Amino acid sequence: MIKIVGVRFKPAGKVYDFDCGAYVLNPGDQVMVETEQGLSLGTVVTAPKVLEEPPANQAFKKIYRLAAPKDLEQLDRKATDERAAHALGRRCIRELGLKMNLFAVEKSFDGSKMTFFFTAEGRVDFRQLLKMLVKELGARIEMRQVGIRNQSKMCGGLGRCGREFCCASYLEKFEPVSIRMAKEQSLSLNPTKISGQCGRLMCCLIYEYDTYMGLKKGLPRIGTMVKTPSGTGKVVRQNAICSRLVVRLEDGIEIEVSVDKIQL
């Protein structure tokens, strides 16, 4: 039997389970844990839960200790170093004329490694850049090319709805989004209206997709001939939420009618 808690290292990042041992922890507590990158500072996001029979094939690392004031000070210094490294990286990129967009730098908590995140249209030869950064920073450097959606998640911002990006606020991973989801919800297929700040289809298109598909199961498909109190016509549009149909009658007039008033 062990007691585990969920720990997150970044806002809207993945939640990792750790064995809290003898520590009494609550959501919001800051803790030091052992990771592949060494000691890292994380935030408890889920209350402790007891596993009577832990999975035999999964080992949970233990909470190393509670975060101390010196750890928070080191976190502030880490953020300052990341901003300086980001400015240095952008300056070196301009000098070398590389076609890449450096948008974030992450420094390991112990300062031994820095990861530079960038986007680019294709492959980039950054060997010379790597040499310049290692010489200036004196740390192990990793260059990581990511997609435009990952950039939006890491940088954050406001969407067209006026709220913070879903990916930056609570989405832990990206789900596949297709144009069919917009079509099934009778949304405009204008790319400028259904695309997010990243230029890809908005993640929120998936939220109500299953609901719409469930509601549409009981509706006649578009193109189906139906009988209405006003005459026979063809279904041209569906309003799944209100269970109503727009029917074009034989004389060309379009009417909106409730589903319970039509006959197939």
List the one residue out of 115, 32, 22 whose CA is nearest residue 72.
32
CB 60 within 8 A of CB 2: yes
d(CA 50, CA 40): 24
For 231, the 3-state DSSP assignment is strand
Mean pLDDT for the chain overall: 89
CA angle 162, 166, 171 (to 5 degrees): 170
Q: Binning pLDDT at 50, 70 and 90, where does residue 80 land?
A: very high
> Hey, what are 117's tokens?
């995140």
Per-residue pLDDT of 89-144, as tens digits, reads 999 999 999 999 999 999 988 888 999 999 998 899 999 999 999 999 988 999 99
d(CA 118, CA 132): 17
Average pLDDT for 212-221? 87
Average pLDDT for 193-200? 90
Question: CATH classification of 73-146 is 3.20.20.450, yes or no?
Answer: no
CB 63 within 8 A of CB 41: no
Name the amino acid, one letter, at 78: K
CB 82 within 8 A of CB 105: yes
Q: Where are the domains of the chain?
A: 2-67, 73-146, 151-210, 225-261
Quick check: 5 pLDDT over 80?
yes
Residue 103's CB: how many other CB atoms inside 10 A? 18
Quick check: 200 pLDDT over 80?
yes
Q: Mark 167-200 as b/e (b = at least 16 C-beta within 10 Å).
A: bbeeeeeeeebeeebbebbeeeeeeeebebbbee
List the one residue out of 207, 263, 212, 261 whose CA is nearest residue 239.
212
Per-residue pLDDT of 135-168, as tens digits, reads 999 889 999 999 999 899 888 888 888 898 998 8
